[in-house]
Amino acid sequence: MSTDLTRPAGSASSAGHHPPGTLDRRSIVERRELHAQRTGRTVTAGAFSPRQLWQSLPDALRKLDPRAQLRNPVMFVVWVGSVLVTGLAIAHPTVFAWLIAVWLWLTVVFANLAEAVAEGRGKAQAESLRRTRTETAARRLLPDGTEEHVPAPTLRVGDRVVVEAGEVIPGDGDVVEGIATVDESAITGESAPVIRESGGDRSSVTGGTTVLSDRIVVRITTAPGESFVDRMIALVEGAERQKTPNEIALTILLSTLTIIFLLAVVALQPMARYSGAEQSLIVLTALLVCLIPTTIGALLSAIGIAGMDRLVQRNVLATSGRAVEAAGDVDTLLLDKTGTITFGNRRATALHPAPGIGSAELAAAARLSSLADETPEGRSIVELCAKEHDLPPEEDAAGEFVPFTAHTRMSGLDLDGRSVRKGASSAVAQWTTGPGTDAALPPEVGETVDRISADGGTPLVVAERVGGTARVLGVVQLSDVVKPGMRERFAEMRAMGIRTVMITGDNPLTARAIAEEAGVDDHLAEATPEDKMGLIRKEQEGGRLVAMTGDGTNDAPALAQADVGVAMNTGTAAAKEAGNMVDLDSDPTKLIDIVEIGKQLLITRGALTTFSIANDLAKYFAILPAMFAVIYPQLDALNVMRLATPQSAILSAVVFNALIIVALIPLALRGVRYRPSTAAQLLRRNLLIYGVGGVITPFIGIFLVDLLVRLIPGI
């Protein structure tokens, strides 16, 4: 059973989550500013500067290598056409031929520029990550217990190293001995130190971070060059980027369209020769380049790279573009209650005495049971008793503290002849009646427990045993607060057709109350890791894609099974290896943002594909009348733009075809503005803005270009 239900005030609270007042309650803007200051990595929404075009130009020119062009079939056809027209221009030089050749080459360069700008942004991120790597010596433990100093790059998987206060952790690994506070600000940008200890879900450490206190022994889990930071650098640079299934499918579609248009242009020449209007290879090449979907072909790679970049800007590492796309197609979100939907730090808000027990007596007992309890819940009980009953907040009783365990589900204090306990109602009931008996609370106390649970709170029953007599003193009410705006965000998810499921270890009554307050579609109470796995498989069997977060080793199977598994950086190495994304901020709420980034990626690709295909329509009206109006005067009716001459019409279409790529680079990198809505609404908006816009824009653009082109002598 999850510890949300059985871990009351005496438990280790919310391992892996941030303390109150730090990350969870910090505004997104403030978080980004702090991250930029501490890591040097500016976090933006994908801002574009024209300076990036100039800076990326050398990389764009290097991509003119035909081996690089072969990766993009559409732009490879343009590259071949550029070579052909250049050869023809050299053999038979004319102003028209050279201008067509120049603008065809510019079309290829602009396409390369879009990809180079996107990659350049990733390289800037990678450079800032390289600055976080510190070459250091490691204190490797030998089998006989002695130490030897070796360079960090020589460490191998399985090596054990000693790290003390003030020293840098030499490599990724797990803490196998000791406990320490660690400064991870170089990686996460979060200044608050985190606790890393052996044997739990907070044992994972990252190379390059600094131990601030105490001494730990770390077992290295990654080989040199394969550390977490190394993998981040490779991914954001695009060195390991592979085309996603959607990209491959779209590339096949664009290649098919290119082949169809190529066959159409090839078939056009015999007809033109028969009609007495044979066309030059330059004109036919210009026609082909204008008809094939060069716009989306040029921007497709940049859109994918920019999607990965937007995740990195938000401190999320995706192991592949496939994970980003899957996030955009997610149908079901599995969200842990604690730390995601609620703040996760339950606080004592009320004391409910049992019949015949005074509130002061209950407060005194609750305070005693919590004096040595260092969890936020335990401290909040002491604070409540001190505030409402003038009891001292500091320790004043000598006794033996009884810590919480998953087996007993209680914590408390043993004094001379007196024992005080607080914990889950069933556990305290069993403690008061003794083993082997039917455990039951007094009816009034049982009603209080049910009422608190139904209201979304967590009841902790307080009891004492003096001599051989035990009695229930009352109930402490703990309340967990739903984060502001969660209901609205879940409503947006619902509008997009995404089903939200809250996962919690709380009892069904508490889970139902929290679920109703938060506005989720469904909830799973008293959830175990096996329950999570079963729910994921059930959803997937219904054809739905599932996203979830996790940080513990017990979450690893579910993270691996989910289509989008976001592991927390504070979690174990097993969780991070199982998931296909890692959130460096360890903020479970970010799963919703990841889904929105994925949807923005898919919407951007769809919008620009729609625009690219739609703007071919205007080129028909520009080029076809120019080619055949002399033979077929009736075609002049299609010259709705009233372009000056056949040559100016063809050149204007080629120029516009190149310039529109540059004009759309900022949109490809920034992404189409995303608004939560249904698929039908998105399609309608897409067709209206980018379909109709894609038809109208080229008419205006080609006409304006022609006003300048007609002034060129020889055209």
Q: Supply the pLDDT for residue 394.
A: 62
Q: Using pLDDT thresholds of 50, 70 and 90, give the confidence band for residue 436.
A: low
459 neighbors 449 (Cβ within 8 angstroms)? yes
Q: Supply the pLDDT for residue 33.
A: 45
Task: Kindly report, residue by residue over 281-327, the tens digit of the pLDDT.
Answer: 999 999 999 989 999 999 998 888 888 878 877 888 887 778 888 88
Number of residues assigned to the chain: 715
Q: Using pLDDT thresholds of 50, 70 and 90, give the confidence band for residue 201.
A: low
Task: Kindly report, residue by residue over 521-560, the tens digit of the pLDDT.
Answer: 999 988 887 888 899 999 999 889 999 988 777 788 888 8
Which of 361-375, 386-400, 547-561, 701-715 is predicted most confidently?
701-715
Using CA atoms in the order 629, 634, 635, 639, what is the torsion angle rounded to 10 degrees? 100
Helix (H, G, I), strand (E, B) or coil at 290: helix
Q: Supply the pLDDT for residue 129.
A: 63
Q: Of the residues 24, 159, 201, 336, which is catalytic?
A: 336
**Taking the CB of residue 263, how many other CB atoms lie within 10 A of it?**
10
> Measuring CA to CA, which residue among 407, 532, 441, 497 is closest to residue 679?
497
464 neighbors 420 (Cβ within 8 angstroms)? yes
> Measuring CA to CA, which residue among 517, 497, 519, 515 is closest to residue 506?
515
Which of 68-77, 218-227, 554-563 bottoms out in mean pLDDT, i.e. has the lowest? 218-227
Amino acid at 195: I
Selected residue with higher pLDDT from 111 and 44: 111
Task: Kindly report, residue by residue over 443-463, the tens digit of the pLDDT.
Answer: 899 999 988 888 778 899 999
| 345, pLDDT greater than 80 | no
| DSSP codes of every residue in 331-350 | -EEEEETBTTTB-S--EEEE
> Distance between terminal CA atoms of the chain?
80
Q: Residue 436 — left, alpha, or beta (φ > 0 → left; ψ -120 to 50 → alpha)?
A: left
Task: Kindly report, residue by residue over 146-198, the tens digit of the pLDDT.
Answer: 889 888 888 888 899 999 988 888 888 888 888 888 887 766 666 567 788 88
Q: Supply the pLDDT for residue 200.
A: 65
| 115, pLDDT greater than 80 | yes
Q: Using pLDDT thresholds of 50, 70 and 90, give the confidence band for residue 25.
A: very low
Q: What are phi and psi of 397, to 5 degrees?
A: -130, 130
Binding site, annotated residues for ATP: 373, 377, 404-411, 422
CA–CA separation, 500 and 493 (whole Å): 8
| 356, pLDDT greater than 80 | yes
Q: Supply the pLDDT for residue 349.
A: 86
Which residue ranges form the domains of the chain, and what is each CATH number? Answer: 50-120+245-309+597-710 (no CATH), 137-236 (2.70.150.10), 318-341+483-584 (3.40.50.1000), 345-481 (3.40.1110.10)
Q: Supply the pLDDT for residue 253.
A: 92
* Mean pLDDT computed over 26-51: 46
CA–CA separation, 105 and 93 (whole Å): 17
Q: Supply the pLDDT for residue 28.
A: 40
Q: Supply the pLDDT for residue 657.
A: 93
Binding site, annotated residues: 373, 377, 404-411, 422, 551, 555
Q: Is the pTM of this model over 0.75?
A: no
**Bridge partners (DSSP) listed for residue 178:** 216
Over the chain, what is the mean pLDDT?
Answer: 81
| DSSP collapsed to 3 states, 533-563 | HHHHHHHHHCCCCEEEEECCHHHHHHHHHCC
Selected residue with higher pLDDT from 13 and 610: 610
> Measuring CA to CA, which residue among 234, 255, 307 is closest to residue 70?
255
DSSP category for residue 638 = G
Give percent of the chain with pLDDT exceeding 70.
86
Q: Supply the pLDDT for residue 678.
A: 76
Spatial neighbors of 635 by CB under 8 A, at least 6 apart, are 624, 625, 628, 629
| 517, pLDDT greater than 80 | yes
Q: Which residue has the tokens 């408390």?
A: 412
622 neighbors 652 (Cβ within 8 angstroms)? yes
DSSP category for residue 484 = T
Verify whether residue 336 is a known catalytic residue: yes
In whole angstroms, how far apart are CA 572 and each of 172, 226, 547, 603? 11, 17, 19, 34
Task: Kindly report, residue by residue over 476-493, the tens digit of the pLDDT.
Answer: 998 877 888 888 888 888
Q: Supply the pLDDT for residue 38.
A: 39
**Bridge partners (DSSP) listed for residue 179:** 197
Selected residue with higher pLDDT from 109 and 507: 109
CA–CA separation, 99 and 661 (whole Å): 18
| 334, pLDDT greater than 60 | yes
Contacts 24+ apart (CB under 8 A), 524-531: 526/1, 526/2, 526/5, 527/2, 527/503, 528/1, 528/2, 529/554, 529/555, 529/557, 529/558
Which of 37-41, 330-334, 392-396, 465-469 is predicted most confidently?
330-334
Which of 89-103, 210-224, 437-451, 616-630 bottoms out in mean pLDDT, i.e. has the lowest? 616-630
Selected residue with higher pLDDT from 234 and 275: 275
Binding site, annotated residues for Mg(2+): 551, 555
* Mean pLDDT computed over 251-270: 91
561 neighbors 544 (Cβ within 8 angstroms)? no
| 662, pLDDT greater than 80 | yes
Q: Which two tokens stand for residue 695?
A: 């038809």
Q: Supply the pLDDT for residue 3.
A: 31
Spatial neighbors of 681 by CB under 8 A, at least 6 apart, are none
Q: Supply the pLDDT for residue 438.
A: 55
